[in-house]
Chains A and B, each alone.
Chain A
């Protein structure tokens, strides 16, 4: 390899392997993984790609911003965020997802698009285009020194929060009756209903669990990006949806890994690319997405064609 190319590559690898870059990338991957689980859970049970997932996070962000504007304590803000996101999730499930459950995937997808834009427009009317600033947990942006490297507390918190949430979700799915019902419904909704699984309960539980994850993501994202606008988290949702497809939509684990992978790759590329090329980051990321889909259309982490559990 000739000089400039070799030195460029060496610089790229050196940057990409820095501890700080790795921690930041894992942190972003963790947040994206949480979003991927939220999206994958609903898809697994309802066969519904919830495009409005980002708007749940946006609503949580506005709740946090509202609380910090009122001068309320951090914990009140987080509680409000949880209440708003869960209430909205339930309304969404009851008013849109449940009545449309028997419809084709295309109808349901368009319905979630409609919900997404409706919520965005409501936010625009209520909060205006300038949005609000949520800064209640800003201290988590401060750094701690780990092995001589300054790492933001939020990076560590995001990784821990994601691990805890995924662990709890696993417990829910493996150790509880409702979890068992969700898994059964994910395999075959019709048969599960025939053997006594209550469809509404399962669907509600999936949307609720997905909402809890959206609230956690709202808290984590607003620490790093405190300006909450009506389009908050929309871009992340699109990237995570791509990650879910890349990972493999057939299983919750593969979808989660896909979400994590796209977040991690975005983080590493963002730091390793020369600064003047950072604007091309989405092109690199989505170029990789196309490449992966061409090579493994079933998903990077999907298993073979045999029957698998979707959640």
Chain B
């Protein structure tokens, strides 16, 4: 009898102890998982106007999210690639990995990003570019390990197509093309414009090429002369002022009295380059988001308001939205992997993204395409150095180039 009582007592004690343990563990708050993002950005070169705003807003976005989030706390460690010098960029990647980065963010051009991407995917880390605009951020460029590489930028084919559809909707029917050959993204945008433009029935008046960064400045004047010699409804290019040729070409055309509309890609965003004389007029571009407080998305405008100084300092390009958008995407992938930060696990989830909502709109990836397509672009117009949002446009067709 004593034995039975003893057994019952032991059993009760065990149950009580187990119950207490469960109660204690349930009452104690579960510690949030900290995920370290290593961000290699260009702080001083041609990509600075694009990397800068993305990083600045991402930092403030992460600070806000960290206050709210109970599950994940994000920590950003940074390294300046100093103009995307390959050796510095590679060293940056190694340093960030050494600092425990579980995910690597990189600069917004695939050629410049390559040293960082290579180091990062070799280490098995998910590698994200907030705004690379080609389809090369993925297996196409980096082979099987490129499965770990993604961009929250727009694929150039999509962007060039949207530009063509906008130009067509304006009633423009003839276009002069000026291709900046310096990076793949610039070339692909103009190629995509041409492909879609021809599908729509538009005519090409002339095709000029130039090299902005590191190119011969004398040849830019020649491009101006040639573009000015042939009348077109619109002049289409894809280049960035920070790369050098944009201002001389636009200025050159305007001072020659040529007021033909000029249509640029997201690269031509920002107000940091507006000259006082002649003022930028009849200039259009497509972008992710308006940095000037008139975006159709209220949340975007709030973000602009919160990060006013940082965005202005970095040239007021729409690139500011790409940092938070990439953070949104990363958090979705982290939730889906239950916090597993292995590059392969995160990449597998990201390849399954279909219309995942982010601050920059809905994002889709596929096994083959690791750059965003189907995004709604903001069409911006600049008149007398005053930029304003005109309308949204989404490419109906993504042409093959």
Measured CB to CB, the residues of A under 8 A from B are 20, 24, 28, 68-69, 71, 124, 128-131, 133, 135-136, 138-139, 141-143, 150, 152, 224-227, 229, 235-236, 263, 266-267, 270-271, 275-276, 278-279, 281-282, 285
The binding surface of chain A is classed by DSSP as: helix
Cα-based distance from A129 to B270 in the complex (angstroms): 14
Are A275's CB and B256's CB within 8 A? Answer: no
The one of B45, B46, B247 that contacts A133, using a Cβ cutoff of 8 Å: B247
Are B207's CB and A142's CB within 8 A? Answer: no
Cα-based distance from A279 to B226 in the complex (angstroms): 15
User: How many residue pairs, one in A and one in B, have C-beta atoms under 8 Å apart?
Assistant: 120
State how many angstroms separate the Cβ of B205 from the closest Cβ of chain A: 13
Given contact pairs A235-B217, A279-B181, A133 touches B276 in the complex (Cβ within 8 A): yes
Q: Does B248 contact A (CB under 8 A)?
A: yes
Number of residues of chain B lying within 8 A (CB) of chain A: 44
Are B217's CB and A227's CB within 8 A? Answer: no
Cα-based distance from A34 to B253 in the complex (angstroms): 27
Cα-based distance from A266 to B218 in the complex (angstroms): 7
Are B225's CB and A226's CB within 8 A? Answer: no
Q: Quick one: CB contact mask for B234-246 with A, threshold 8 Å, 1 for yes?
A: 0000000110100
- Most central of A229, A267, A278 by chain B CB within 10 Å: A278
Top 5 A-B pairs, shortest CB-CB distance: A141-B255, A135-B275, A270-B219, A129-B48, A270-B218
Q: Does B268 contact A (CB under 8 A)?
A: no
Within 8 A of A (CB), among B178-225: 181, 207-211, 214-223, 225
Are A138's CB and B223's CB within 8 A? Answer: no
State how many angstroms separate the Cβ of A187 from the closest Cβ of chain B: 36
Given contact pairs A130-B242, A279-B209, A279-B211, A138 touches B275 in the complex (Cβ within 8 A): yes
Closest chain A residue to B83, Cβ basis: A129
Closest chain B residue to A263, Cβ basis: B218
Cα-based distance from A229 to B208 in the complex (angstroms): 25
Within 8 A of A (CB), among B361-395: none
Closest chain A residue to B313, Cβ basis: A128
Q: List 23 A-B contacts (CB under 8 A).
A: A20-B225, A24-B222, A24-B225, A133-B247, A135-B251, A138-B277, A139-B277, A142-B256, A152-B255, A224-B217, A224-B221, A225-B247, A226-B247, A229-B242, A270-B216, A275-B209, A278-B211, A278-B216, A278-B223, A279-B181, A279-B215, A281-B218, A282-B216
- Most central of B45, B214, B218, B219 by chain A CB within 10 Å: B218
Q: Does B252 contact A (CB under 8 A)?
A: yes
